[in-house]
Structure 1
Amino acid sequence: MTLPPFPDGVPARAVVDLDAISDNVRALREHAPSSDLMAVVKADGYGHGMLPAARAALAGGATWLGVATAAEALALRAGLGQHVPVLVWLLTPGAPFADLVAADVDVTVAAPWAVDEVAAGARAAGRVARVHLKVDTGLSRNGVATGDLGAVVERLAALEASGEVRVVGVFSHLACADEPDHPSIARQATAFDAALGVVEAAGLRPEVRHLANSAATLTLPDLHHDLVRPGISVYGNSPGPLLGPPGRYGLRPAMTFQARLASVKQVAAGEGVSYGHLYTTTQDTTVGLVPVGYGDGVPRHGSGGSAGPGGPIAVGPPAARRVLRVAGRVCMDQLVLDLGPGATDSPGDVVTLFGASDGVPHGADVPNAQDWADAAGTISYEIVTRLAGRVVRQYVPTEGEGAS
């Protein structure tokens, strides 16, 4: 990817490589060649833009799309311009089931209360509701509990017999798939098989069974079933440090986050930098102001100073690039870099918080999202997803050209 020109008057941008998303989906399909693939585009496509990411994923061979909320599902269906199965899984009482059913969105039953609301939505919409039953196999989060499963399945079977719903899927979610040897994986797989037995005993014949997230798609082929549901890996990030870098799996990061230096000035030795003076200069030096902060999605835990090194940022042209650490507290709208004595950096110069090194993702001289996650004590998912709306998105290829 060749990065486009930095827009005039814009302090920060996130460049999204749509071809990378398409290529990542192709690579993921190679890891699960016998299964359909649902690209998860919730949370605005993990911060990459829901609709552009969805189109790029479909261009790469995704056969389903998945989102968390009703609003996401309806916006996706309205804006996509093509028909593809869309599943929504995180719904609350009073959700717009009739609108979802009318829009041909697959809805999830993850708790007993949802059965009757889905049926009412189907009647109001005047069409059969496509339902996926989510079972809790050990995550203790969203999903029908084992003790409620029999009654929920019995009720769904009755509604399918009366023509109000069609149970097209059964799924669950793994707690520790990013730790391939974790004993909970086998327990959850066994619990999922048991739940499928309950469903089949009731006479239901779902089209798709799905359990595998990104980590399981890449490392646990026995759990691929009919459909895999990768999320973070669609965007070229590894599901976790224990699994190794994304390149190991043929993935490349799709997002590059950059800003322009707002000012450069001299600061004497012994001066405190930013709120709380976490960082104190050790020599006469040059500091640069980067106009992004936690209001833009830069984690405040990426502050640097007495408590440890801050988040990494690449500074300077390719021939003289260096990776520096945030000096002092990350503020709402800005952060500071100690550029070093004699630095020749100037206001307007571009710095890269994470992403591509002159078109080469995860170049040795440019930090990646995992580097920032390590500095902030979090995960790469949060780093890319939290970028705020005021960070301008640029798409390569330009939207309208499509993704290869």
Structure 2
Amino acid sequence: MTETAAEPTAALRARAEIDLGALRANVRALRARAKGAAVMAVVKSDAYGHGAVPCARAALAAGATWLGTATAEEALALRAAGLSGRLLCWLWVPGGPWREAVEADIDVSLSGMWALREVTAAARAAGRPARVQLKADTGLGRNGCQPGADWAELVGEALRAEAEGLVRITGLWSHFACADEPGHPSIAAQLTRFREMVAYAEERGVRPEVRHIANSPATLTLPESHFDLVRTGIAMYGVSPSPELGTPADFGLRPVMTLSASLALVKHAPGGHGVSYGHHYVTPGETTLGLVPVGYADGIPRHASGTGPVLVGGKWRTVAGRVAMDQFVVDLGGDEPPVGTDAVLFGPGDRGEPTAEDWAQACGTIAYEIVTRIGTRVPRVHVNEREAG
């Protein structure tokens, strides 16, 4: 997990500035939308590339009461960093660190009988009950227990394990397939199925602390899905889960990450000069070229070749030619900004720079991928760690 000092003391080739003040404000905006439901701050994949530990601390300071990760290793790293409170992890494979999770008071998600068997064995070994949440597949077709006989078996066996003092069933939950597509028929169908599966479990004696299905888009647009808890991932980082739903500003959110690099070279080039591998870009006339020292090893999509937008010297430029492993080129059109000038790939957009959504559109992907893929060679510089005033 990435945790960087607030301000570097030496010049950086590139930096991802993470505005923790914006993150706290986003969490408060999401809490207001949740209207009484608790908020889980999802910090999987190093907080979507933003730095899990500082982002988790900021989210808790802003009123989130749960943290969420995909893997047990991510959850255990948060505990090792001193983060306490409720913490759920949901992606398990046989032989995972169940006992360590039980001993660290981490809620673990169960989607099948094999997982229940492994966690009860871990609870026996640890000498304490495991906190478990049963995940229902209400239509996503990914993780989660199928309705019908499979759900009945998992609920029944989990209740027996609870009666033996091996587990405490703390949650019932699921995940939407198409909450980012307004009006998609699967949304209502999944809500109905979730209510049915929750009702079945509760009729048989499950008394969960939380019931939850709402992800970021559902938190923003489907109040009927909020139940006891909402899980806010990408929205917490100020990125809209879908352009169709609205921009970050439409929801009172501000992008948290600004990615920039220092120009490593500015040089004159004649017309007809090939640029980067394959010469997919050839200068149309005499011009200047700027070298931006980040590439696909840093998480810059190779699919952005010829399309990715960059702000240099107050003007939007476009990646000229192919993105290479460590660098790419922009055509400066005759301008000569000094070497070391900031090339801003994306940020909140209020200073004229592109946004992560602009990069997603340029690459034919989603903004989630743009921020999450920024690699570990790019330092995260966390700013506004403390509340102003």
TM interval, short-chain normalised: over 0.9
User: Superposed, which structure 2 residues align to 1:228-377 within 5 Å?
Assistant: 228-304=230-306, 310-316=307-313, 321-341=314-334, 343-355=335-347, 361-363=348-350, 365-377=352-364
Q: Shift of residue 362 of structure 1?
A: 1.8
TM-score normalised by the chain length of structure 1: 0.92
Distance 1:246 1:374 in 2: 15
Distance 2:30 2:388 in 1: 17
Aligned residues: 383
Conserved? CA contact 1:123–1:164, under 8 Å: yes
Percentage of pairs with the same residue: 56
Distance 1:402 1:55, change over 3 A: farther
Distance 2:186 2:9 in 1: 48
Distance 1:237 1:301, change over 3 A: same
- 1:54 corresponds, among 36, 56, 59, to 56
- 2:187 corresponds, among 179, 182, 185, to 185
Q: Is 2:372 the partner of 1:388?
A: no
Question: Which residue of structure 1 aligns with residue 100 of structure 2?
Answer: 99
Question: Which residue of structure 2 aligns with residue 307 of structure 1?
Answer: none
Distance 1:7 1:300 in 2: 31
CA offsets per residue over residues 170-198 of structure 1, 9 Å max, x none? 00000111112100000100110111122
Q: Shift of residue 241 of structure 1?
A: 0.9
Conserved? CA contact 2:264–2:292, under 8 Å: yes
Gaps of 5+ in 1: 305-309, 356-360
Distance 1:170 1:396 in 2: 37
Q: Shift of residue 374 of structure 1?
A: 0.6
Question: Which residue of structure 1 aligns with residue 3 of structure 2?
Answer: none
- 1:173 corresponds, among 172, 175, 178, to 175
Distance 2:151 2:319 in 1: 50
Q: Shift of residue 5 of structure 1?
A: 7.4
Conserved? CA contact 1:168–1:205, under 8 Å: yes
Gaps of 5+ in 2: 1-5
Runs of 4+ that moved beyond 4 A: 4-7, 401-404
CA RMSD of aligned residues (A): 1.4
Distance 1:158 1:47 in 2: 40
TM-score normalised by the chain length of structure 2: 0.96
Conserved? CA contact 1:39–1:230, under 8 Å: yes
Distance 2:9 2:175 in 1: 41
Amino acid at match of 1:345: P
Conserved? CA contact 2:7–2:382, under 8 Å: no
Conserved? CA contact 1:296–1:390, under 8 Å: yes
Distance 2:369 2:35 in 1: 29
Conserved? CA contact 1:302–1:326, under 8 Å: yes
Distance 1:7 1:374 in 2: 35
Q: Equivalent residue of 1:31, what SS?
A: helix
Conserved? CA contact 2:270–2:286, under 8 Å: yes
Amino acid at match of 1:215: P
User: Superposed, which structure 2 residues align to 1:68-107 within 5 Å?
Assistant: 68-81=70-83, 83-107=84-108
Amino acid at match of 2:358: D
Distance 1:285 1:209 in 2: 60
